[in-house]
Amino acid sequence: MSAAPDEPEQLSDDEQAQAAAMAAAAKEDPLDSDDERSTRILDQNEIDSLLGIVPDGGAAEQRAGIQAILNSSMVSYERLPMLEVVFDRLVRMMSTSLRNFTSDNVEVSLDGIDSVRFGDYLNSIPLPAMLGVFKAEQWDNYGLLTVDSSLTYSIVDVLLGGRRGTAAMRIEGRPYTTIERNLVERMINVVLNDLTATFEPLSKVHFRYDRLETNPRFATIARPANAAVLARLRVDMEDRGGRLELLLPYATLEPIREILLQMFMGEKFGRDSIWEGHLTTELWQTAVKVDAVLDELSMPLGEVLNWQVGSRIELNASPASTVEMRCGDVAMFRGQMGRKGNMLAVCVQDRMVK
């Protein structure tokens, strides 16, 4: 008798489940398994970078990510290059006027020019602050001048005879007094006078002080989504000073947008003055053929074809009739026909082209 063949070894339930899982994994698409292995969870820093969120809230830093895409629809101040010339002139004029106003050594510097949304700017104003609303009368729109608390207390300290070398006293948690508001209002009027003189070479405009607010909600001069130009100024009075921010909505600058698009003062877009002068000179020297029309007749074409040498055409005109002078189909002058030497001539009496 022959021996019976060996029976297959029996697997446990756990081993069978593990073998089935391995077999199923082997049948899967290798691309799917690679995608699963490449999937990972983003940490908070990577999420902030993707969304364009600046950790320390610095507005001057470069925006990136989705925030940059959202802000790409805003008009950049760099498309209005003449604004840099205007604000540079404003800094120089303010340095002189504030020195006369405070009788102190004042230095004004331009920290930067940005394009912002009006609503975002109002939310970013550090409180307490004074917000001066002014109106551009010829442009029929408004602007905003923000004075931070450091500059407010410094101006009050300087104008009321505070000693040099001592920091301006700053009391938190109290509203501004009437004296502080009046002194800041006087400084704002000085700045607005300089701003008016700064824009004078470009356009005649007067910036009139309207009101002073301490709550940004009451200083709303445009819709939150509207774009605006923000100029950040730094005012230093030796060991004292603060920040002054000038905000002009693009709707306010729209009447002089064509002028602000210039790269330099007096630029004319699409025009060449040298070529214009040359073309004008050549046109004045151009010979033009002018026809003197004594009279006009309308007759059938068949009658015209029957004309022979010696045929006569009777005109409804006399030697005293007015002659019309034409250049092509355009009537230019009217005059009286006469003779000069052996030539027929026309004396111009009326100009038909205005």
Helix ranges (DSSP H) in the chain: 13-27, 30-38, 44-51, 65-71, 82-102, 118-124, 149-159, 178-199, 250-253, 257-260, 273-284, 301-305
CA torsion 263-266-272-277 (nearest 10°) is -170
> Taking a C-beta distance cutoff of 8 angstroms, is the pair 219, 180 a contact?
no
The band of 343, judged by pLDDT with boundaries at 50, 70 and 90, is: confident
On whether the 287-307+317-351 domain is CATH 1.10.10.10, my answer is no
pLDDT at 190 over 90: yes
> What digits encode the pLDDT tens for the residues 239-284?
788 889 999 998 888 888 888 877 766 555 445 667 778 888 888 8
Position with higher pLDDT, 56 vs 200: 200
> What digits encode the pLDDT tens for the residues 79-113?
778 888 889 899 999 999 999 988 888 889 988 88
pLDDT in the model for residue 233: 92
**Residues 302-320: what's their mean pLDDT?**
84
> What digits encode the pLDDT tens for the residues 58-74?
444 445 556 566 555 55
CATH dotted code for 77-260: 3.40.1550.10
Would you list the domain boundaries of the chain?
77-260, 287-307+317-351
Average pLDDT taken over every residue of the chain: 79
